[in-house]
A and B are shown apart, each in its own frame.
Chain A
């Protein structure tokens, strides 16, 4: 192996590590943060659509029921999430990795 090749290999490893570090420290948390926010937003949307799933009569659920075929999977996950979510702090706390 020539010196040039060894330097090349070293730089590649370094780059990979740096990118991994960047991804772990900045990219991924940022991505996660936004996606969590989007999920929270979605939860609110679902709740506004299907409040009657939790016993709150909603005049609009007759119309929003039309959306269920497209929200199938999401609806079920949402229902499960809503039933066992403990607190807002718990949910918001998840984004910090101690």
Chain B
């Protein structure tokens, strides 16, 4: 089993429940486990009845289990302040205002949120030596998938930027005929250094995602979530990220034989349709169904979480593939 485990899927299918249950299962088997919630709605706090923040914190009442909730807004703010601080050391005060505007703009674009989240992802993955397993409860499909496709995309972009910059430095050096001092030199260019630093980070992320991460998609036995799962699967395959399995959540229970009331009839029909769909899922998708989790009447928390954890048939092998 890989060190990093991602749970994704359509909104509302119960990703948080499944990831918390899986985290718990790992912890129960003695693995130091961290559950990371990246969903802005943050329901990890509700599942464990405990408020979490940006730093890993032990979950009360469970051994070996920590949790954290990533807050991209805070990260965006921090990133911006840091740049502004560097700037006041580097740039003359006369033009600070003009550039301040650009910095603010860059942090207000829609991509900023994703980039910040991505940075935190990488941070967590980089600083996770003390954990045996890190479980990511990701935000609904679209956002997460885009996030996971970032490394490739950004790497090639940065490559292009670096080569452009090198080209112009080269030209400036050539323009320095005779005694003239070149306006710029490659060795001491902070821009290239900065870009390469970033590139390294993206490479790390890409490699980790491809080699040390497992993905599971959570879905409900209904038409919409099956379709979304199909799309998600094809996207993930495009990014060369293999999905290990599917978790079917919120499966309706069958009524007992001989019950014939309106409620029982409804439930029986529903149960039959859902079973058909599960049938279809297991025949149409290449990925195996690793768990079918029954629908609960109450919110899943406390002892119910243990029950759910027991229903999860995802291996928790101790040794982590390097």
Interface residues of A (CB under 8 A from B): 27, 30-31, 34-35, 37-39, 41-42, 44-45, 48-50, 52-53, 57-73, 75-76, 79
B171 within 8 A of A: yes
Question: Nearest Cβ in chain A — how far from B86, in angstroms?
Answer: 4
In the assembled complex, which residues on chain B have CB atoms less than 8 Å from the CB atom of A73? 91-92, 95
Contact call A69/B86, Cβ cutoff below 8 A = yes
Q: A30-B177, A66-B194 are in contact. Are A41 and B160 (CB under 8 A)?
A: no
In the assembled complex, which residues on chain B have CB atoms less than 8 Å from the CB atom of A71? 191
Complex interface bits, B141-170 against A, C-beta within 8 A gives 1, otherwise 0: 000000000000110011011001101100
Residue contacts A-B, CB under 8 angstroms, 21 given: A27-B177, A31-B180, A34-B171, A41-B171, A52-B109, A53-B105, A59-B111, A59-B154, A60-B111, A60-B154, A61-B106, A63-B115, A64-B106, A65-B102, A66-B198, A68-B83, A69-B86, A69-B91, A70-B194, A72-B91, A75-B98
Question: Nearest Cβ in chain B — how far from A37, in angstroms?
Answer: 6
Contact call B115/A59, Cβ cutoff below 8 A = yes
Q: A31-B180, A69-B87 are in contact. Are A62 and B171 (CB under 8 A)?
A: no
In the assembled complex, which residues on chain A have CB atoms less than 8 Å from the CB atom of B79? 62
Contact call B168/A62, Cβ cutoff below 8 A = no
B190 within 8 A of A: yes
Question: Nearest Cβ in chain B — how far from A23, in angstroms?
Answer: 9
In the assembled complex, which residues on chain A have CB atoms less than 8 Å from the CB atom of B87? 68-69, 72
Instruction: List 18 extra interface pairs beyond A52-B105, A63-B115, CB under 8 A.
Output: A30-B177, A34-B171, A38-B171, A41-B167, A42-B168, A48-B164, A57-B111, A61-B106, A61-B109, A62-B106, A64-B106, A64-B161, A69-B83, A72-B91, A72-B96, A73-B91, A75-B98, A76-B99
In the assembled complex, which residues on chain A have CB atoms less than 8 Å from the CB atom of B115? 59, 62-63
From DSSP, what is the main secondary structure of chain A's interface residues?
helix
Contact call A62/B116, Cβ cutoff below 8 A = yes
Contact call B107/A41, Cβ cutoff below 8 A = no
Contact call B165/A70, Cβ cutoff below 8 A = no
In the assembled complex, which residues on chain A have CB atoms less than 8 Å from the CB atom of B158? 60, 63
Question: Nearest Cβ in chain A — how far from B41, in angstroms?
Answer: 23
Contact call A31/B175, Cβ cutoff below 8 A = yes
Tier of interface size on chain B:
35 or more
In the assembled complex, which residues on chain B have CB atoms less than 8 Å from the CB atom of A62? 79, 106-107, 109, 111-112, 115-116
Identify the 7 closest CB pairs spanning chains A and B, nearest first: A38-B171, A72-B91, A41-B168, A65-B106, A69-B87, A62-B115, A34-B175
Pick from B112, B175, B191: contact of A38, CB below 8 A. B175
In the assembled complex, which residues on chain A have CB atoms less than 8 Å from the CB atom of B91? 69, 72-73
Of residues 128 through 149 on chain B, the ones whose CB sits less than 8 Å from some CB of chain A are: none
Question: Nearest Cβ in chain A — how far from B322, in angstroms?
Answer: 29
Question: Nearest Cβ in chain B — how far from A46, in angstroms?
Answer: 9
B127 within 8 A of A: no
Contact call A70/B168, Cβ cutoff below 8 A = no
Pick from B80, B107, B165: contact of A45, CB below 8 A. B165
B90 within 8 A of A: yes
Contact call A38/B109, Cβ cutoff below 8 A = no
A60 vs B167: C-alpha distance in the bound complex, in angstroms?
Answer: 20
A14 vs B95: C-alpha distance in the bound complex, in angstroms?
Answer: 47
Contact call B109/A41, Cβ cutoff below 8 A = no
In the assembled complex, which residues on chain A have CB atoms less than 8 Å from the CB atom of B92? 72-73
Question: Nearest Cβ in chain A — how far from B65, in angstroms?
Answer: 33
